[in-house]
């Protein structure tokens, strides 16, 4: 049975609870004056990650957290080791954005074995192996399939040519947003026979790699006129590559993307990017709220879903001051 409870959170997006309810199988969390909280960040090589880490630091004082925050520098193995170290330091609760779906499962299992409740934030793990309400309390994050679908729908509505030749820049291979943003976009775009995805390659959610991959793909597919990037950093990298090649992003190449960073909103205002579907990094206040509800014995649904907005020429200027 589904239920939807609208929460009052500081997240800019509307947040709703949906999907399965967590059970007593996850370790309990005692109500305390202060909590020792672990936040095991995966990397800090882009504005999204930096904003997310800052959101946890900004929340720590108000939520009575003694925060231990680590940075795995893009290594899933280090992220697992960081969680090991947090367990050894006696954290009360773990917030984990798993870099990839499978390699972080041992971290989830070890935290549970140590009696530490885990909340996955912004990315999830392989649902066939680790389950909310059993191995971790809940996943706090967006519907990535829907994000990809909404990017495709904007393109279908706004592309005015006869033939869309699409290059897709994928996020980190094996990560939940890369898997799901691809599925959501590809499935929806396949319903419109004006479009063909001629290449789909990973840029690891990084600006530099996105630029390099775009440079290579441009050689093989000089007729590309649409770029779908799984995040804004890769979209900005693609814009740089296109401009270096003498192309005009926003004029002869339509750029669609996901996140809502400051650089992306500026690119929309400048007419270089068409749309970015929001994926908010501001998880600190939501993490505090859900953790306190869990400590109070309230039922927590397996997926605390963040609702995302869409930024286009119509509203980018209204939101750039709040962007990161
Ligand atoms: O997990 C969310 C994704 O991770 C963001 O879209 C991306 O920019 C980040 O690195």
What does the pLDDT look like over 143-199, one tens digit per residue? 999 999 999 999 999 999 999 999 999 999 999 999 999 999 999 999 999 999 999
What are 236-266's pLDDT values in tens digits? Answer: 999 999 999 999 999 999 999 999 999 999 9
48 touches ligand 1 (CB under 6 Å): yes
In the chain, ranges of CATH 3.40.50.2300 domains: 3-142+282-307, 144-279
What are 195-231's pLDDT values in tens digits? Answer: 999 999 999 999 999 999 999 999 999 999 999 999 9
Q: Which residue's CA is minimally distant from atom 2 of ligand 1? A: 122
String of DSSP letters for 142-181? E-HHHHHHHHHHHHHHH--SS-EEEEEEE-STT-HHHHHH
Q: Could you tell me which residue, 19 or 72, shows the higher pLDDT?
A: 72
> Residue 28: left (phi > 0), alpha (psi -120 to 50), or beta?
beta
Q: Tell whether the model's pLDDT for residue 2 goes beyond 90.
A: no
3-142+282-307 belongs to CATH 3.40.50.2300: yes
41 touches ligand 1 (CB under 6 Å): no
Q: Tell whether the model's pLDDT for residue 13 goes beyond 70.
A: no
Residue 12 has what pLDDT?
A: 38
Q: What is the pTM of this model?
A: 0.92
Classified by CATH at the fold level, domain 144-279 comes out as: Rossmann fold (3.40.50)
Return the closest-CA partner of residue 155 out of 229, 212, 205. 229
What is the whole-number distance in angstroms between the Cα of residue 55 and the centre of ligand 1? 15
**Atom nearest to 232 CA in ligand 1:** 8
123 touches ligand 1 (CB under 6 Å): yes
Q: Tell whether the model's pLDDT for residue 11 goes beyond 80.
A: no
């Amino acid at each position: 049975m589904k239920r939807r409870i609208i929460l009052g959170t500081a997240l800019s997006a509307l947040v709703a609870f949906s999907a399965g309810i967590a059970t007593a199988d996850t370790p309990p969390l005692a109500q305390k004056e202060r909590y020792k909280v672990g936040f095991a960040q995966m990397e800090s090589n882009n504005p999204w990650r930096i904003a997310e880490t800052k959101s946890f630091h900004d929340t720590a004082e108000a939520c009575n957290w003694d925060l231990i925050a680590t940075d795995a520098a893009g290594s899933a193995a280090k992220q697992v080791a960081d969680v090991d170290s947090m367990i050894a330091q006696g954290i009360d609760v773990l917030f984990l954005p798993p870099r990839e779906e499978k390699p972080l499962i041992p971290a989830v299992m070890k935290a549970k074995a140590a009696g530490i409740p885990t909340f996955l934030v912004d990315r999830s793990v392989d649902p066939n192996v680790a389950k909310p309400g059993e191995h971790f309390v809940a996943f706090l994050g967006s519907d990535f399939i829907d994000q990809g679908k909404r990017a495709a729908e904007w393109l279908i509505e706004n592309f005015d040519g006869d033939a869309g030749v699409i290059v897709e820049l994928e996020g980190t291979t094996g990560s939940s947003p890369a898997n799901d943003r691809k599925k959501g976009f590809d499935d929806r775009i396949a319903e419109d026979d004006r479009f063909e995805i001629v290449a789909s390659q990973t840029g690891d959610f990084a600006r530099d790699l996105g630029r390099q991959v775009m440079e290579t793909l441009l050689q093989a597919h000089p007729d590309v006129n649409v770029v779908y990037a799984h995040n804004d950093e890769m979209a900005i990298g693609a814009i740089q590559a296109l401009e270096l090649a003498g192309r005009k992003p926003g004029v002869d190449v339509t750029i669609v993307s996901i996140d809502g960073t400051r650089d992306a909103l500026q690119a929309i205002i400048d007419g270089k990017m068409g749309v970015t579907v929001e994926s908010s990094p501001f998880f600190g206040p939501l993490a505090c709220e859900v953790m306190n509800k869990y400590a109070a014995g309230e039922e927590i649904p397996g997926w605390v879903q963040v609702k995302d907005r869409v930024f286009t020429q119509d509203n980018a200027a209204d939101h750039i001051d709040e962007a990161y």
